[in-house]
Amino acid sequence: MIEQPLSVLKFGSSVLGSEEDLSIAVQEIYRELCKGHRVVAVVSAFAGATDRLLEKAERHFGDPQATSLARLLATGETVAAASLGMVLDDAGVPNLVLEPQDVRLRTRGRVLDAEPDSVDVEALQTVLREVPVVVLSGFAGQNDDGRPSLLGRGGSDLTALFLARRLGAHTCRLIKDVDGLYTVDPHEHGDVARRYQFASWEDALRVGGRLIQPKAVRYAKQHDLSFIVCAAGMGVGTKVGSGESKLEPCRPLPKPLRVGLAGLGTVGLGVYRWLRQRPAQFEIVRILVKDLEKPRPDDVEVALLTDDPWNLFDSRLDVVVELIGGTDTAGFLLRHGLAEGLDVVTANKALIASTPAYLERSGSLGDRLFFSASVGGSVPVLERLSRLSQQFEIEQVEAVLNGTCNYVLDRMSAGCGFQEAIREAQEKGFAERDPGLDVSGMDAACKLAITAAVAFGVVLDPNEIPCQGIDRVTPKEAQQARAKGAVLRLVARLSRTADGWQAQVAPMTLHSDDPLAKVRREGNAVVVRMRDGQRKVLWGKGAGRWPTTVAVVSDLLDLYRRRSRDESVIGLSIP
């Protein structure tokens, strides 16, 4: 198996004000997964939670015992970490939520202001070989006798840096509500404030104030550990470490990107709601729908709706987000948007795969046409394969790329009829109203063609890929496979041959130990095999509103960060 770099991310209460802000953490974690990194996410309590717990203890119990108080206050982080784990589950990102005792995070010193001493590195690494993301509640640990202890106010910063050092992390980012350290508060003294591109540990201690826990900075200095202070969704931050501080002018943030959204269905509504929560970065100026008379959820701003595609382009847009489906109107939107010099984000695999011009330009994926959401749902297939193909010689890619088919096959193996399984998938948002593209295998063929173009620069016509779907698979066949300890899966395969690349899509009976057999329900999985014998497995949810929303929003955030760097930023850039 290929070893992946590790990123430690710390989400403080300034970022996680409430449960509604957990999507911020999801996108930052997904950003690291796209780079091929494993992630340890250290989580603080939601804003005000620790103060409320402390007030409760003092009001009801006077002067509580330190150990009991530590146990109470640590519940704030426990709730936030568990909540993040559930939101990641919903978004289709594989993860495991751990408590300090699960990894034997030991401390020394005072119960309420302890110092981290040791952690079970092997246990953490074992978990990270099974899942790409570990969520850990910060701030707390255990004394040698196993009783709870705290690392002091702001102690999640210290947890993150301690774990980054012990695990040999590639990077450690402390994600705050500002894009770095400043000489003075930029909100109060914008004219004279200057941002640190690089800050020495001494300057970080001097200007960090309430932004970074001083104990954490001193720990970093003691162990020669560098880290980054940055804001969520941004492409810059302040690096803190050994050396001479470097300042840069405080420049205004770029204006929000003006978005024209096409489609308000399952995924479109998810994207709409996410963008509405980020007004500093995105402004929805027009929404194209097929039927203006259709009832809409109460949170949809009806004044933004139009059923005329031309109206979408009368709004001085920066980016078109195409989620309307099909190839006619969607094709017009992509062609006209690109011709007008706009950026275009889409999840439309049928359109991308059936248009050679789009596949041929896919080597510059993300230049102005963003379509990473077209393959894999919450599994960053295109980004990961593109990076892997630059590092290794890939011999074969085998994948389960259609969550609808996977769900239907699973249900049929459990005794459900084909049509009944389709109806269930539609009710759960895993299947379209017309599932023909899915069950025929054509959806998987389109995704395979896009994958071949992005990862290997090979343009394949999806209509010429040998393709057999699951529409002829019977429940009896699925149940017979299960009785033999095997699993039926619709497998998309891309293999290197002496003449180039060979592609096919077909149902296959797999042994239950096969990685593709282990992915359940609406999940997707990809197995990448290298010429040197190494193997990489990617997995996660591939269907549903939130997995696809995560991928679409990831493209939009990449675009926003590029605009940020181009228009207003110099200094440290976070890839």
Look at residue 355 and give its three-state secondary structure.
coil
Phi (first) and psi of residue 460, to 5 degrees = -115, 140
Strand ranges across the sheet with 194-200: 95-98, 133-137, 38-43, 6-11, 171-176, 227-231, 237-241, 194-200, 246-249
Q: Counting Cβ atoms within 10 Å, is residue 367 exposed (0-12), middle (13-18) or buried (19+)?
A: exposed
Helix axes 22-34, 66-91, angle to 10 degrees: 60
Of 197, 123, 225, 22, the C-alpha closest to 574 is 197
192 burial type by CB count under 10 A (0-12 exposed, 13-18 middle, 19+ buried): exposed
**Strand extents, DSSP E, 409-546:** 486-497, 500-511, 523-530, 535-541
CB-CB contact of 536 with 1 (8 Å): yes
The answer to whether 449 touches 353, Cβ cutoff 8 Å, is yes
Structure tokens at 5: 């770099």
Looking only at the bridges linking them, the beta strands covering 227-231 and 171-176 are parallel
* Mutual angle of helices 381-391 and 442-456, in 10-degree steps: 40
Residues contacting 317, CB < 8 A, separation 6+? 258, 259, 260, 285, 286, 337, 342
For residues 270 and 261, the answer to whether their CB atoms sit within 8 Å is no
Contact, 372 vs 352, CB < 8 A? no
| 290 tagged catalytic | no
Write the single-letter amino acid at 456: F
Report phi then psi at 346, rounded to 5. -145, 155
Residues 6+ apart with CB under 8 A from 339: none
Tokens of 547: 């997995």
What is the rounded CA–CA span in Å between residue 572 and residue 553? Answer: 23
Q: Which of 215, 239, 447, 536 is catalytic?
A: 447
Residue 307, CB half-sphere, CA atoms under 13 Å: how many?
5
Which of 352, 321, 327, 212 has its CA nearest to residue 259? 321
Is residue 229 within a helix (H) or strand (E), and if so which, with residue range?
strand 227-231
Contact of 217 with 240, CB cutoff 8 Å: yes
Instruction: Say if residues 348 and 322 touch (Cβ distance below 8 Å).
Output: yes
Residues 6+ apart with CB under 8 A from 31: 554, 557
The pair of three-digit structure tokens given for residue 530, joined into one six-digit string? 């290298």
Residue 504's CB is within 10 A of a number of other CB atoms, namely: 16
Q: What residue has token string 């926003």?
A: 560
Catalytic residues: 447
